[in-house]
Amino acid sequence: MLDTFRKRTNNIAFTILILLIVAVMAMFGIDMSDKNGGGGGAAAFVNGEAITQAEFQQEMQARLQQYQQILGAQYDERLIMQMHIPQNTLRQLIQYKLLAQEASHMGIIVPDEELASHIRSLPYFQVDGKFDASLYNRLPNKGFEERRQRERLQVMRLQDYLQKRIRLAPSEAQRNYRLSESKAELKFAAINLSQIGKNASPTAAEIATVLGGDESKLREYYTAHTAEFTKPGRAHLYQIRVGLPFQASDAKKKEALAKIEGIKSRATTKNFSDLAKESSDDEYAKKGGDRGWVTEGTLGQSFETAIDSLAAGQVSGIVETSAGYFVLYVAEKEAREVTSFEDAKKKIATELAKEQKQESLQKERLSAWNAVLEKGNGLETQLSANGIKIETTGEFSLGQGYLPKIGDSEAILDAVFKLTKINQVVPKLIPHAGKYYYVKLAKLTRPKEGSPAKWTEAENSVTAGVQNDLLTKWIGDLQNRASIKETMQFDDGPAQL
């Protein structure tokens, strides 16, 4: 529970999670053109219940409108794909469906009278602040919309029900208050042990020992550092693109395909650059389609496959990607070069011997400094001599859950809580975020007894933190137990839950 006291100081995180999911379902009102209320096939199945293509398209349309309003002239459909907006939209629809299903399983119902009152309150069914039945009757499938709104109310009621069931004892709230009102300031140093011994060079004897030792370790290093012993292939690439907008219609795809086929039929190595200037619609058109040298492994799979199949001086067939159709020309090509294990053995042995020597020096230094700290002495002199800077955190609350300039370290916080005297040091260096931390107490202020209002505030803060932890875990467990099948395919795979 101490973790919760330290890390959680507000009650918004879980509330925001559910409200965001719910808000998606109401964003920009209702699409009056949806004639079947859920046709076009399924985008996903959640425990056998479909999320329709129509639902997905409606939410995508709402999100795209929102991004267009925010970005204005800077709106770019390629940015939408890079931000995984389609995947994230489907992910939130799946989470919403799971929550609605769980609400039904728990017996949370919404009476017809309450549903009717809620629908009458929706602004997109009102004129001058009053419900207009004619707007509602324009819906092509009122049953579908009523189900959506009923689920929305169920999810909100589920959230309220779960939060009300999680409360804490007053003693825990009081303890959190004392922590939050305790103020401290620390002196500290972030020690990067990897800098110690980094310039140490192994002797010839140390290298020979590694070289004559267990060869499997040398091979293990070779396998783990393949890139180090491989010079990737590369190609001097030209391209012509006929682009496609996001979610292009079949007619648009057919039109673009016909255009690229015409370009392909005319493309040769001699006229490719002129043809790119004339026909390509990407940023390389002005340069005759010249992308310069591209390195193996840095392009999309469809490009990599096409380039692998081409020799220098060849033009590709039509390459299809989510961004459109392409024709490629490889002007020059350099093959991948791999250093063999036998040729790399000496270099590997040298590197391993250096690592062993550096690790030994680091352990010696760490042991020596910890011995000083165990005696209650500081390390400022030794650290400064090694070019390590001593810093201060500034004053902060012990209940805020993280240390200024250091971050969220439970181990360091635990050690700081045990310090009671000014200039007292933590009796060992503590690892955190790839470094070791030296910590000394520079200032400490204890709180006075709080008023009833303070206790109530503290209780609410702690309760909200526990609610957030438990409910977030509960949603994760709910997803893990569910049967979720996505039928929509995206260029970089399904949505990630």
Question: CB atoms < 10 A from the CB of 62, how many?
Answer: 17
Kind plus residue range of the DSSP H or E element containing 320:
strand 314-321
The pLDDT score that the predictor gives to residue 170 is 61
| pLDDT at residue 173 tops 50 | yes
Query: How much is the pTM?
Result: 0.45
- Grouping H, G, I as helix, E, B as strand and the rest as coil, residue 407 is strand
Domains of the chain: 2-167+474-486 (1.10.4030), 174-197+361-445 (3.10.50), 233-335 (3.10.50.40)
Give the model's confidence band at 455: pLDDT under 50 very low, under 70 low, under 90 confident, else very high.
low
Say which residue the tokens 């909200």 belong to: 464
Write down the H helix ranges in 292-392. 301-308, 341-374, 380-385
- Over residues 201-245, the pLDDT tens digits come to 999 999 999 999 999 999 999 999 998 999 999 999 999 999 998
Q: What is the pLDDT of residue 493?
A: 46
For residue 349, pLDDT over 70 is answered with yes
Phi, psi for 115 (deg, rounded to 5): -65, -45
Phi, psi torsion values for 452, nearest 5 degrees = -55, -35
Find the angle CA(66)-CA(70)-CA(76) to the nearest 5 degrees: 85
Strand arrangement of the beta sheet that strand 324-334 belongs to = 290-295, 234-243, 324-334, 314-321
The predicted pLDDT at position 495 comes to 44
Whether the CB-CB separation of 9 and 453 falls below 8 Å is answered with: no
